[in-house]
């Protein structure tokens, strides 16, 4: 089953903490986003393996935008 991790805020991607093939557990930080001069981690709500990453450092993201796809 595929699950999508979504951006929790609108902002700019500072860091992608995983790569395709990485194992992710519930609560693991996967991305850091800068929003309103604050660094905000995005944590996974799911456990699984990263299948695709739809963003890169310096990309702008919108709240609710799918950024990472996991295979559970």
Question: Residue 53 has which token pair?
Answer: 């990453």
DSSP string, the chain: -EEEEE-SSSEEEEEE---TT-EE-TT-EEEEEEETTEEEEEE-SS-EEEEEE---TT-EE-TT-EEEEEE-
Which residue range(s) make up the domain with 44? Answer: 2-71
What is the domain-level CATH number for residue 46?
Answer: 2.40.50.100
Residue 13: CB atoms within 10 A of its CB come to 19
Model pLDDT for residues 8-56, shown as the tens digit of each residue: 999 999 999 999 999 999 999 999 999 999 999 999 999 999 999 999 9
Residue 3 has pLDDT above 90, yes or no: yes
Instruction: Please report how many Cα atoms fall inside a 13 Å half-sphere around the Cα of residue 12, on the Cβ side.
Output: 7
């Amino acid at each position: 089953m595929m699950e999508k991790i979504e951006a929790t805020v609108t902002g700019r991607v500072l860091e992608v903490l995983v790569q395709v093939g990485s194992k992710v557990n519930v609560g693991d930080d996967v991305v850091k986003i800068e929003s309103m001069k604050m660094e905000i981690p995005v944590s996974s709500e799911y456990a699984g393996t990263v299948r695709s990453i739809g963003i890169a450092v310096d990309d702008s993201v919108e709240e609710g935008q799918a950024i990472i796809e996991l295979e559970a």
